[in-house]
Structure formats: C-alpha cells, structure tokens
Amino acid sequence: MMNNVPAHDPAGWRNVPATSKPIDPAKAKKLLAAEWKKFSATTAKSAKHNKVASKVLPLGVTSSFQHWDPYPISIASAEGAYFTDVDGRKLLDMSMGFGAMLVGHLNPLVVKNVKEALDKTGTLFVTPSPTATEVAERFKKRFGIDMLRFTNSGTESTMYAIRVARAVTKKKAIIKIEGGYHGGYDPLQVSVKPALADIGPAEAPIADAPFDAVPGDVYVVPYNDLPYLEKIMKEHGDDIACFMVEPVVENLSIILPDKGYLAGARKLCDKYKIALIFDEVKTGLTAGVAGASKRVGVTPDLITLAKSIGGGLPVAAFGGKKKYMDAVVDGRMAHFGTYNGNPLAMAAMMAVDDLCTPQALASAETINMAALAKMDAIIAKYELPAHTIGFGVKGAIIWSPTPVRNYRDFKNTDFLMAELSWLWGINRGVITPPGLDEQWLVSLAHTSADMDKLVTEFEDLAQALRS
Ligand SMILES: Cc1ncc(COP(=O)(O)O)c(C=O)c1O
C-alpha cells in the first residue's frame, strides 16, 4: 500500500514521486497555443493533404482514431523506428501502429517472408494450408493455449471470443471494464471513454451505450475492483457468459492491475461459471514473449490477439482452452472468414515469431526501463505533478501526482498537460499516439539513442514549464 493505494502487479512499472508542485494552467495554455502555431507553420503539406482526403474519406482518415483537430500529420513512408511525413520531416515513431509495429517498420525478415510468399506461394487460397497450420502451432505453443483461429482484426477476434463464450456457457450477457475499448462489436461499444455526466456514481456505474449500437445486456465494472465484480456476478451470474478485460488496460494510457486483481477475477469467474477473456490485442507480445497473461501468471479461458503478432499485416486471432474452442469444432459457434490465415499474413507472423525471442524482447524492455528511469529523474528534478508507468516494452507519463487505478482516476488526470506534452513531442520530431494518453512503444528497431530523443524533449518541456 502506498498512501492507501494497493500495490500493483509486480510485473508492471509505476513510480509516483512523493512530492510535486502544481503547474500554472495559464502557463501551460500559453505554451500550448504557441505549439499549435508552430504545428501549423511546419505541416503545410499535411494540412493540404487532409483537405483533399476529407473529400473522399470521412475526416480525411481511414480510421477515426487517426484524426485530430485541426488535421493529423500525413505519413509518406516508414522504416525502422522512423516516419517521413509529407512535409519531408523525419519523425521518431513512438506509437508504432499502436503496438502493431513491434518488430519495426519494414523489418527485413517480415519483408523477406512476405516477398517470398508473393513470389512463390500466392496471396490467397481459401483452403487449408501447411503455412497456416505451422503458424498456429507456433502461437499455440508460445501462448500456452489449446487451439486458435485466425481473423483479420482485433474487432473480429473480440467478437468471436464473446460468441464462443456464449455458445459454451449458454448465457448471453457480458461484463466489461468501464472506459475500456475492445474494437467495434456492439456490446463492446458500451461505456468506452464515456462522459462522466452520463455514467452515475463510481460505486455503481451506469452502462452508457451509443445510439447506433445494439449491445444486449452489458454490465460495466470499474477496473481493479473485485468486490464490485463479485456483486455483479452474484446478482446476474446466471445470465453472464463472460468477463472481457485487458489484463493491463492499455487504452486509458496504461493502467496496471493491482496485485492479485486478475487472480481474484479468475477465481470469481470459476465460481460463477463465467468465461474469463483476456483481450491481449494491445498487450500481446509487447507485454512479453507469451503476453500479459503469462507475465501476471493468470490463465484466461480465451485470449484475443492482434497488432503485435502481425508485423503490420492485418492479422489477428482468438483462442484458448479446448473446452471453449470445441464450440468452433462442433459448430455451436460458426466461424468463417475469406481472408483468415492468408499466406501473406502467415508469412509475416512466422517472421514475428522468429524475431520476438525472449532475448530480443528483454533487450527492448531494458531500453524502455532505462528511459522510464530517466523520465523519473526529470519528474523529480522539476517537481512535476506526474508519474511514470510501464509494462513490457510500453511506457507512459501520467499527468497526475497520484496513481491511476481505473477510468474515473484516468478522467481526473490533467488533459491540458497531456495535450501539451504530446504536441511538444510532435513539434520536436517525436510522435506518440493521438488520444492524449501518451503511450509509447519501444520496438525492436528503437535504440537507447532514439529513446534519449523522447527524454530530451520531455526535459525541454519541463524546463519551459518551470522557467
Ligand atoms: C484492446 C483492444 N481490443 C480490440 C481492438 C480492436 O482491434 P482492431 O483495431 O484490430 O479491430 C483494439 C484496437 O485498438 C484494442 O486496443
């Protein structure tokens, strides 16, 4: 316990300074206004591109996550840890496709395997193929699961995992975490970063569904709250098929599980005959060689994988225990998909499996931990009301002097500072993901010198804030 805050799972990194001094909001606003001016002055071609793109693509982007006001930066090419934008600037990519580019842009082995598939194998068979079987065997072994099926996106994987859980438990309702994001399936649209005004008190969150979704029965629980999870299971367990959770929440910056939270959730799911689904779309190989489940020592019934497993190709998977995957075998849950297991995606996954050795991931994690420690020193030196958080090869600065354990804590962080810090980085050649949660990824292509760029621009910001 630190200031009455429970300890986090020991696999994660969190360093909250004992003291800090507030930031003058007027100063932060002034700096932010200057940074937006600088942004406009240096990104003329991105502005122009967005105007053209907006005529054909809503918001000028291919996924609404990519958009920000007044316009996002358009990228012409990427290699290793770097982007080149349409204005010709070289930018350090710290977002790396939200984790999908874990092995680096245009990783030579991914390129080699995919080229070979293009030259010799084919692009699609829609029949069984030894390559898909070999990749399935490798990932089954890696993640310690009995069976898996490939899909083309995290959205498909989370949808099918829920449907498997329903088919096996013969129950339909689901439980999800307040604020959590799991892709586009209707029940998972409930309470995704909802407005606080719409969701009632923290002790009894109200499920908030957008008008366009038909979610069915969805119970929303705060992360890291076992008593409330048990209350919901006790009251509605006879109707609940599954509890879907990111083992480490990586869509609200990074929120670590309290020590014992996931093991407790496992026990409750067993008690109330509810499937435990770990959505490892974001954690996956970024959390370690066998994902976050292995790292925290808790085995879910089903897992969903995407992003980091595919070297940038559109590939994902769901899988887990035989008892559950048997529902696909006997047709209780029908799983189809024209592009599932296509040879190009399989070639990339084979490369990712070869590349993501324990040594390679450990070395990226060491670089991450060293960067987090340097960020800690800056936070301490300038007495910033912020702290560091990390898991595996991901890290973040949280603009809060106290730990964040759930969505309501996350909403309490300083979004003005998050915006300033994000834009400050962009204007100095370092891109972290849009969405103001400042999560970075150390890919296999990042070096300590690359991470020092992130650290240096962060110190420049600290200096500007305190000058
Ligand atoms: C935890 C989680 N689950 C599912 C998804 C959906 O994945 P996709 O964008 O591949 O559909 C995402 C996407 O960011 C995610 O972060």
Identify which of 61, 156, 158 to mutate to test ligand 1's pocket (most ligand atoms within 8 A of the CB): 158
pLDDT at res. 393: 98
In testing the pocket of ligand 1, which one of 155, 189, 246, 255 has its CB within 8 Å of the most ligand atoms?
A: 155
Rounded alpha-carbon distances, angstroms, from residue 176 to 180, 181, 182, 307, 317: 7, 9, 9, 21, 20
- Residues whose CB falls within 8 Å of the CB of residue 133, separated by 6 or more in sequence, listed in order: none
Query: Residue whose CA is closest, atom 16 of ligand 1?
Result: 282
How far, in Å, CA of 261 to CA of 251, rounded? 18
The tens digit of pLDDT for each residue in 414-449 reads 999 999 999 999 999 999 987 777 689 999 999 999
**What tens digit of pLDDT does each residue of 326-359 get?**
999 999 999 999 999 999 999 999 999 999 999 9
What tokens were used for 295? 């790292």
User: What is the position in ligand 1's atom list of the atom closest to the CA of 283?
Assistant: 1
Phi first, then psi: what are they for 232, rounded to 5°?
-65, -40
pLDDT reading at 2 higher than 80: no
Cβ of 278 less than 6 Å from ligand 1: no
331, two tokens: 């047709």
Protein residue with least CA distance to atom 4, ligand 1: 182
Give the residue extent of every domain in the chain.
13-102+358-466, 108-355
Atom in ligand 1 nearest the alpha carbon of residue 306: 10
CA distances from 95 to 102, 316, 356, 439, 440 (A): 10, 19, 18, 7, 5
What does the pLDDT read at residue 433?
Answer: 85
Q: Is the CB of 279 under 6 A from ligand 1?
A: yes
Binding site membership of 306 for ligand 1 (Cβ less than 6 Å): yes
Ligand 1 contacts CB of residue 188 (under 6 A):
no
Burial class, 141, CB count within 10 angstroms (exposed 0-12 / middle 13-18 / buried 19+): exposed
Contact 246, 278 (CB under 8 A): yes
- Name the amino acid, one letter, at 288: G
Residue 197: how many other CB atoms lie within 10 Å: 7
Residue 269: is its pLDDT beyond 80?
yes
Residues in the chain: 467
pLDDT of residue 1 exceeding 70, the answer is no
Of the candidates 321, 327, 165, the residue with the CA atom closest to the CA atom of residue 244: 165
Which protein residue has the closest C-alpha to ligand 1 atom 2?
Answer: 182
Mutate to test the pocket of ligand 1, among 153, 223, 281, 318 (most ligand atoms within 8 A of CB): 281
Closest ligand 1 atom, residue 63 Cα? 9
Q: Domain 13-102+358-466, what fold?
A: Aspartate Aminotransferase, domain 1 (3.90.1150)
Residue 16 DSSP SS3: coil
CA distances from 399 to 95, 377, 438 (A): 18, 15, 10
400 Cβ inside 6 Å of ligand 1: no
State the closest ligand 1 atom to the C-alpha of 180, by its place in the atom list counted from 1: 1
d(CA 145, CA 322): 8
For residue 192, the tally of other CB atoms under 10 A from its CB is 20
Q: Which CATH architecture has domain 108-355?
A: 3-Layer(aba) Sandwich (3.40)
Percent of the chain clearing pLDDT 90 (strictly above)? 97
**Atom 13 of ligand 1: nearest residue by CA position:** 183
Does 282 contact ligand 1 (Cβ within 6 A)? yes
Helix, strand, coil tally for the chain in percent (to 5): 45, 15, 40
